[in-house]
Amino acid sequence: MANPNLQDIIEKQVLTVAKAVEDKIDEEISALDRLDLDDIEALRERRLQQMKRMAEKRSRWISLGHGEYTEIPSEKDFFSAVKASDRVVCHFYRDNWPCKVMDKHMSILAKQHIETRFVKIHAEKSPFLADKLKIAVLPTLALIKNAKVDDYVVGFDELGGTDEFNTEDMEERLAKAQVIFFEGESSSKSSAQTRSVRQSESNDSSDSD
């Protein structure tokens, strides 16, 4: 049987929290009540302008190739891409299994983070670039902001040292580098997307060698 004194304390705490929540709601209602029609119209106009600016940004991002994971055909095109977009994730790859794993995750994140451009370039066919950026291990992601390489993800060491990491693990790593926008809840948490790539590969014979 519960201690009566403890029960009283819990009930008082619950009442205190409930009162605080009620006061907060009353405060917000009062603030809304104090708004006149001009204030409401100003808020509406500001919100519309924000939505318009975001729509314009999205349109520009899409025109630059955001929203898709694409291959850059040449070193010259790499420089054009990083100058055009504020945030770029570039996968330096070759034709091997680890790079195919990375491709899967990049394809998912490109669709979810339209604010960032996701691309790949064949490291062995880009010797000048690979040497300039000191690319030694494949796969390597170059995380580029404002036309400058700001960070790298080299291999899978930061992702548990295994190719069975989840897309959300990669998403959180990119968010830490501030190369994608991230609100704290992974946008890739649906069960189909958080499966490891090895699991999805075993169910997708079209991608197997």
CATH (domain of 134): 3.40.30.10
- Average pLDDT per consecutive 10 residues, the chain (209 residues; last block may be shorter): 61 70 74 71 84 90 95 96 97 97 97 96 96 96 97 96 95 96 56 42 41
Q: Quote the pLDDT of residue 13.
A: 67
The domain in which residue 114 lies consists of 56-177
Which residues have C-beta within 8 Å of that of residue 82, sequence separation ≥ 6? 88, 90, 144, 147
- Are the C-beta atoms of residues 78 and 129 closer than 8 Å to each other? yes
Inside any domain, residue 99: yes
- Identify whether 154 is part of a domain: yes
The answer to whether 134 and 93 are in contact (CB under 8 A) is no
- On whether residue 74 sits in a domain, the answer given is yes
The whole-angstrom separation of Cα 173 and Cα 99 is 17
**The two structure tokens encoding residue 134:** 């000191």
pLDDT at 198: 44
Burial of 143 (0-12, 13-18, 19+ CB in 10 A): buried
Strands 117-122 and 148-154: unpaired
Q: Please give the pLDDT value at position 3.
A: 61
Domain count, the chain: 1
**CA–CA dist 25, 84 (Å, integer):** 45
The pair of structure tokens assigned to 120 is: 């790949």
24 inside domain: no
Answer yes or no: is 150 within a domain.
yes
